[in-house]
Each structure stands twice: as structure tokens, then as C-alpha cells.
Amino acid sequence: MRKMKIFGGAVALAILGAAFSAPAVAQNADAVPSNPLKNAYFGELHIHTTLSLDSYIFGNRVDPDAAYRYARGEQITLYGNRAVKLTKPLDFAAITDHAEFMGEQEVCTTPGNKLYDTPMCKGVREMDQVQFTKIADSNTGANGPVNQRQHVPELCGVDTALCVEGSKTVWKRLQTAAAKYYEPGKFSTLLGYEFGPNVANPVNAGMMMLHRNVIFRTAQVPDNPFSAYDGVGEQLHAWLEKTCVQPCRALTIPHNSNSSAGQFFWLGKNSDGTPWTKEILERRARVEPLVEIFQIKGSSECQIGVGLADEECGFEVLNKPCPPGQNMGCSNADSFVQEAVVRGLNVEKEWGVNPFKQGFIGSTDSHNGNPRATEESAFQGFLAVRDSTAQQRLGIKVGVADHDGGGPSGFVRMNPGGLAGVWAEKNTREAIWDALARKETFGTSGTRLRLRVFGGFDFPKDLHKSADLVKIGYEKGVPMGGDLVAAPRGKSPTLVVWAVRDPDSAPLQKIQIVKGWTDKGKEHLKTFDVVCTDGITPDPKTGLCKDNGAGVDTATCKISNDKGAAELAGSWTDPAFNAAERAVYYVRVFENPVCRWSTYEAVQLKLPPPAGIPATIRERAWGSPIWYTPTAGK
């Protein structure tokens, strides 16, 4: 039987006051007080500075020092002399400049390097797109098989030694910046980089991005990043396990599966098309616990009309569904996280391991060097010279190409990106990384909406009302990212969920659970609204709530403040649980609508909102799944 309650008042504040306590400042990680019930921290795990060539070439000159200062709440200046500052500092950040071209950029931008004065290097410094394209093409597989990419000899030398050494220099620079701005208890810097192989399709025009961010637990890291010139994703995982040994530890986070032509979530194939092996799948499950579900280039959760989708899968979708016979520059079922977490149930049944058992985060992927610039009302673009003005972003300045080559209007389909939320004992590198590794995470579409979920078979009735919710949740169940195994006879899993609004965004509208399950090998999906606001209850037939009527005046972007809630929580017991079949559950939380960034900018320019683009959006959060397996290992 489904149970629904709205959570609020003094009990809510008592629970949330303990769970959301501010981090304490300390001089070293060991001295930082630890909260066994864990705190919520927000961060950015996908940001590019001037040290990424595809950022430098478009005019970004924000270096890692400035990026960290911005994340900590200081004002910096972006391309176009734009002064920017966060309304609230972040708790943690990882600068993830591209491993590819680190060496090339060092060769071309540091006077005294052997090839500094070559025409190609001069072109790089002058932001010549022709020269950049020549360099970028070396990472598309166009010059040979995916695992035979080669550095450009004009920049790296025939033996590539110049770029290999240059990459080490840039990597050291990133390590130095991370050490400088790490303040345990207040702000954590995590060392990381982006591994970014691109794959050109010889049949259909287009390019697949099979990119992953690599995040390290400590300052002990390999002396040079593993890049696309060294191998494919599965080889990256093997290299990390071989090279990054204690005290070094690392995890990888794939992103933009929506633009991967489905190759992140292929069934039976690795990213280079070779067949799966159990060894490869087990390693992937160990090294890759998370997936980036949302960022500037759209949602990778799901899409209406593509595979296992539901009524909420139309949010910030970048590509159109693929027509028959095409898989590039469009969406297919293999491209989405929602599909993957459900199909992973069958993969585990067949292989004994689930490579798609991944938690969720959000990030930006901004190439402006400004972590977490996600406010709809203050979007500054993400690609320096190409979208530094409102006119460019809205597609009304002729002659400026967009990021995907479709003309100026393409930028308007982008969004400010998302945030990564973690539940950790304290704000230190190790504690934040451990939370990521165990998948006790959530992603948001850019706001600081806070979400927490526990699942179990023996929770007290109406646990969500208890001041001991968190303590009992850990004692009698599992948090987001956890596993439930072998249901007791006659028991169905209960999920206890709660959320707290971002005071700088809109009130909350509802909490929803997405359930995926298998039945004799067939995959299924259904959504259930658990808690709704304004006296609305779910329809007994559909399990969903009607809209609460919250609106937005798109002429002024003023929102309804008389609808929705500051806090929501409830308990939900699966009404159709089959203890013999695998299942997976994840939570979505929705805010009331607000103006989309493109509408804010249109209002400022005294223009109507762009045609064909939603004028408003509902910001949201996604909690990492909880998985159910009938019997451990089977």
C-alpha cells in the first residue's frame, strides 16, 4: 500500500538542523570534526580553465587559481571583461582540464619551448580555428582506429616527447593550485582531469563523445594523466587500477551519454566495439560508481519517445530521437541513464556483475573557468568568445557559430548546468571522495535543493516524522546508492524521502519515485508521486499528482510564492513488489516553475522568449538509486 505524508514544522527543522550542519574550519583533515549522520555538501566536478585547449582557443584566460577563488566565493573576470561572483561559495571542486592537448598547449603558450614559434603554435595563440581543428582531429579516430590516435607531430615532435613532458608540467600546475586552495573543513579541492576520446562515425556524419572525468582521493597521483592517446575507456580503468595504488585511489564519471551514440551503455560491447569480458565488467563496476546525469549540454536521464521513458523525460533534452538507421547527433535508447540502470538488472542476472550500477551527480562542463555558475537569472554562457553576450546566446547575433556547428541558435538549447551533492561525514578530500565512491550522492539541475533517501524492509511506520530519521535510516536500511538484498517473507521495500528547497530558488512541488524492474527478462518502468503539495494527492489509477497551479509571469519572471513547500518528506512502500525479481528505485524532486535563462535574457533585452524553447522550467534533483537483488550475487 502506498503511503504519503507531507513533512514540515519543528520536527523537520530538528532533523534537518543536525543533518545539514555547516562544516567546521580546521587546519588539517584529521582535525575536522566528523558527523556520523553526515552533512550535505555541494560541489563542481566538471570545469575547464584556460589549460584546456578547447577553452583557451575560444579566449578563456581564467587559470586554475582564479577558478578556485571563484568557487570559494571571490570575484573574477571572464572573457569580455565580465565581473562575476557566486552568490554562495561551493563546498568542494575539481578542475577537470582535458588530458588531451595539455602538452600541445604547454608547447604553444610557454615562450622558450622548442616549437613555440611554429605557424601552428602561432595559430593557437591567435585563436585560429583552422589550426585548432587540425589538432582536435588527432583525437577523433579519423586518422586510424580508436586505439591508435597520435599526437600532432608539428607540435609534439615525431616521438611525441615534447607533449608528454608538457602534459606533466600542466598536471603539476593543477596539483599546485589544488594544494594551495585546499582548506579542510571549509573548502575541498579534489584532483582530477577529463579523459576525452572522440569517435568519428565513418557512415553517418557526426562525432561521438566517450568522455569521463577522473577524480582522485588524495594528493598522491600518477605523474601524468592517461589520455585518449593512450587508449580507450576500458584501458583507462585498467591503467588506474595498476598505476593508482594506495594511497592513490581514483574513480571515473562518464558524462554526456546523450551524445555518445549509445556506446556508454552498449549491451555486450566495450567502447571500442570489442566484446565484454567478466573481468572488464567487474573492473568497470569497481572504478566507475557514478554517472553525470545533467550538465550544460543537456539531460542524460531520459527522453520522451526513446526507450524506457516517462512523462517527465522532456527536460532540457539536447538532441532529437534517432530516425531508423542513424545513431549520430540524435538520441537512442542506449544513450540514457534511466534505460541503463534498468537494463543493468538483466546484465547482472546474466554476468553476475552490473556495470551500470551507478549513482548520480550533476555538473556544468563550463569552459569559462567559473565553477557552479548555474543561476538561470545570471547565466554567462560557457564558451568565452562564442557566447559571451546575451545576443550570441539567444542566437540574434549573426555570424557566430555555436558549439555543435548548427549556427547561433544552437546556444539557446544549452543550459547553465547542474551541481553535485554528497552526504559526507566532513568536508575533506577523503570524505567527499568516499561519499562519491559509495554513491551517497545526488545531482541537481543547478539549484541547492537538498535530497536524502533511505530504503529498507523494517522501518517504523511514518519514519519520516521521527527526529531519529537519519539514525534509524542507517541502522535499519541503506542510503542512496545502497543495496537491498533478499526481502524477508511478506515484506516490501519502503523508501523514506525528504527534500529541502533552495531559498534562492522556487518552492518544492513534489517528490517522485521512479521504479525499474525485470519480469522474466523483460524490462519495465513506472513512476509514483510520493508527496505532493497544496493538498493534492496522487491519482489512485496513475499514481501521479495533478499540477499544483504554480505559475510564472514571463514578462517579469516573477514566480508564485503561495504554492509549493519549503520542505517535503514521506514514506512510500512499493505496492507491486515481487521479491523474486530485481528492481531499482531512484527519486526525483521538482521545484515550482521559474523562467528559463533564455527568458530572463529576453526580458532584459525587451524581446519575447525565443520560439521553440520552453519559456519556463522546473528545476529538479535526482537521487542515486537503491537496488534490490533477490539473493546476493545471483
**pLDDT, tens digit, 9 for 90 and up, residues 215-269:** 999 999 999 999 999 999 999 999 999 999 999 999 999 999 998 888 899 999 9
Burial class (CB in 10 A: 0-12, 13-18, 19+), 128: middle
Task: pLDDT band for 540, please (50, 70, 90 cuts).
Answer: confident
What is d(CA 208, CA 256) in angstroms, rounded to the nearest whole number? 10
Question: How confident is the model over 349-369, as a mean pLDDT?
Answer: 97
Do 227 and 104 meet the contact criterion of CB atoms below 8 Å apart?
no
pLDDT at 25: 37
Which pLDDT score, from 0 to 100, does residue 10 have?
30
Examine the pLDDT at 349 and tell me if it is beyond 70. yes
Distance CA 566, CA 137 (A): 49
pLDDT tier at 323, thresholds 50, 70, 90: confident
Q: Is the distance from CB of 60 to CB of 79 less than 8 angstroms? A: yes
Does residue 414 contact residue 404 with C-beta atoms inside 8 Å? Answer: no
Neighbours of 274 (CB within 10 A): 12
Please report the pLDDT score of residue 632 as a whole number: 61
User: What's the confidence (pLDDT) of residue 149?
Assistant: 80
Name the percent of the chain in helix, strand, coil, to the closest 5: 25, 25, 50
Tally of CB atoms within 10 A around 591: 26
pTM metric for this prediction: 0.93
What region does 38 belong to: left with phi over 0, alpha with psi -120 to 50, or beta?
Answer: left
Dihedral-angle region of residue 625 (phi above 0 means left; psi in -120 to 50 means alpha; beta otherwise): beta
Read off the pLDDT of residues 407-450 as tens digits, 9 standing for 90 and up: 345 799 999 999 999 999 999 999 999 999 999 999 999 999 99
Q: CA-to-CA distance for 57 and 98, rounded, in angstroms? A: 13
CB distance 7 to 498 below 8 Å: yes
Q: What is the pLDDT of residue 14?
A: 33
Quote the CA–CA distance of 98 and 235 in Å, as a whole number.
Answer: 17
Percent of the chain topping pLDDT 90: 81
The SS3 of residue 11 is helix
Q: How far apart are CA 217 and CA 303, in angstroms?
A: 34
